[in-house]
Structure 1
Amino acid sequence: MDQETAQAPTRPPVSVPPAIVVMGVAGCGKSAVGTALAAALGAIFIEGDRLHPPENVARMASGEPLTDQLREGWLDAIGEHIAASASKGEGVVAACSALKRGYRERLRGFCRDITFLYLEIDPATASARVASRKGHFMPASLVGSQFAILEPPGRDERALTIDATRPVADVVAEAIRLLAKS
């Protein structure tokens, strides 16, 4: 098993989409929710941050936001991991900001059956969370740039929105409930 993915042992008792991308700005809880959701669903978890090329990590660590062009290879790597798991019949949950509609469409180019779980959060809470993280390359100074380009999923996208200011366990329980109904 490689460093980007982890597998839980069983599928859930409820029917959920085969591919879920937990999305939103830095600090919304993508990794925490994604890890817990994958475990609850018996799915593979893909940590999108681990798939950034070193150049992207260095750029963000120095306080420079990524451009659309710099995100392309990263999105493709996430999409390839999702597609590989889905093609084996494995449920998959990926953590990826997917901030723009175009990014979400790019991911869907690898797997049409993706459902996006948008973790909605306000800028102050996101900034405070990022500022309190230890050992992560993303500085709190970049949170504003993420909100500046954020395009929340539209009604015509296969996406569910959850208030990310709630505790992780509550967010995961709500996600499972909404996913089972979708």
Structure 2
Amino acid sequence: MFEQLTQLAQQFGQDTVVKNDAIPNKKNEAVINEASTSIITGLQKMVADGDLSKLGGLFQGDNAKDASNPAVQQLTQQLTGNLSEKLGINSGTAASVASTLIPKIISALVGKAKDSGDSSFEISDIIAAVSGGGDNAGIMDAISKYGGQFGLDQNGDGKVDMSDAMDAVSKKSGGLGGMLGGLFGK
């Protein structure tokens, strides 16, 4: 997933970074790589801190491109700090770059994850990347906690659990992948 994020950062970084006179050309690649890294580590931090509703909120409607979205704000602040601290970019320039790049990259990422015709980003890959590829229990806890709000309660019992997964498997919803897709609006 990091490679795909880097490609998105490069795509959106042309105007924001490469053509930006305030960023020395020798730092262009580092700024673009830092944007990708900051997004992954920021999303991982949300999972680790239990901010799963914030993460799930990115996948609802057009929230990913909304600069006032709490997750987008958190990722923008993280990138701003990293650009200033790690790369010595002026704080005003860093804030401008981050506030432009993060919503565009996150919106493209979410758009690709929600697009059933685009297999370049799969929701399962995003979950694996943000959960560190290991224990997905936190993500599954969030699905149980917030899944009813997203229509994942297959049997209408007021909770999302294994029986909902079994019901989903028996329907044309695509099993657990369909449930996860439902959570993220796919």
Category of TM-score, reference length = shorter chain: 0.3 to 0.5
More helix by share: 2
Structure with the greater alpha carbon radius of gyration: 2
More strand by share: 1
Considering Cα pairs closer than 8 Å and 6+ residues apart, tell me whether 1 or 2 has the greater RCO.
1
TM-score if structure 2 supplies the norm length? 0.32
TM-score if structure 1 supplies the norm length? 0.32
